[in-house]
Amino acid sequence: MVYRLLFELLVLAGAQVGTDWTSVLKKRSLFREAFSEFEAETVSEFMDLKITTTSSSYGMDVGFIRGVVDNSKCILKIKKELGSFDKYIWDFVNHKPIMTKYKVHHKMPVKTSKSEAISKDMLRRGFRQVGSTMIHSFMQAAGLTNDHLTTCSRRNLCAALVPCAPSPSSTSI
């Protein structure tokens, strides 16, 4: 399901703060195991014992795990309110990825007005650990923005994935 992938990317982007994507991706299977394959319904039911056990078993900060649990509850609220988490996220970009035109890395921002708007809305809804820089990283990972340099061979490959964006009438979870 799409929302599980988005939930996973949100968690991984949060784990990436202060480190690099390569380190986080090497631990991706551990994150999947620790957070019940990113099944928001299951994660939302984690109680204190499960949180502390997960922390000691997987070497994750308790505060980070509590944030993931809280975020899973927020995702479920959005699902109930708006029909799906993916629709909620993609609504911010009108269901079409933002195609940037950066030519050099040092011109690429770590946050944008769009990531700030998403961050503010998510914080208003009760999400945790969703600062604008982290949300920008999430947007890149989820394909909401294509920040590959104009000279990068991956740019066109990622642009070809555009049909993956749900339409406004999509009813996925």
Binding residues: 148, 152
Distance CA 131, CA 133 (A): 6
CA–CA separation, 66 and 70 (whole Å)? 6
Task: Report the distance separating Cα 139 and Cα 16, nearest Å.
Answer: 13
- Tell me if residue 145 falls in helix, strand or coil: strand
d(CA 74, CA 15): 18
The answer to whether 76 and 53 have CB atoms below 8 angstroms apart is no
Binding-site annotation: residue ranges for Zn(2+)? 148, 152
